[in-house]
Amino acid sequence: LEARPSVLHFGGFQLHKDHSQTLRIVNTSPASFRVSILPPSTPYFRVNFDKKGLLAPGMSEDVTITFTPHEWRYYHDSVKIFCGGQSENLLVPIHAYPAVSDIAIPRFIDFGCVSIGATKAKRIPLTCRIPIRFEYEIVILENNPDFQVSPTSG
């Protein structure tokens, strides 16, 4: 048996809304299998599928995984797929996490007129619409002694 995808990711979500993905279970062996699907154990993930009984070689079964978050945090669980003693059982991990919203960083920063030897600073706030802590890192691609960027991570 093979699960496609082998790991489900719900990256970015809205609170109290259903988000769905399809998990396809494919019989890649030359024998037919009776597939049993154990749903996730947490109330945030649900499964829906039409049980087919025996899964013939080359055939597949689609399982819809629905995720409904209630707060901004990381969620995880798994779907267990049993096929008796004839083949390996499968464990498909499920991960759901809030995604940091688009960060608007200006392409050009105008410092205006600055006297030689003087220093001028510009502050660019990094904000997120989702009320969670996030990390960032700024990578300097081409170093210039006339400019300094700080902090480069946080």
For every residue of 29-44, DSSP letters joined together read: SSS-EE-EEEPPSSTT
Enter the pTM of the model: 0.72
Tokens describing residue 74: 């990381």
SS3 55: strand
pLDDT recorded at residue 80: 94
Tokens describing residue 5: 């995808």
Angle at CA 32, nearest 5°, toward 31 and 35? 130
Q: Which residues pair with 81 in a beta bridge?
A: 37, 90
Phi/psi zone of residue 34: left (φ > 0), alpha (ψ -120 to 50 degrees), beta?
beta
pLDDT recorded at residue 130: 75
pLDDT recorded at residue 4: 95
CA distance 70 to 75: 10
pLDDT recorded at residue 87: 66
pLDDT recorded at residue 146: 84
pLDDT recorded at residue 105: 77
pLDDT recorded at residue 134: 74
Residues of the chain with pLDDT under 70: 85-87, 101-102
SS3 63: strand
Q: Which residues pair with 36 in a beta bridge?
A: 82
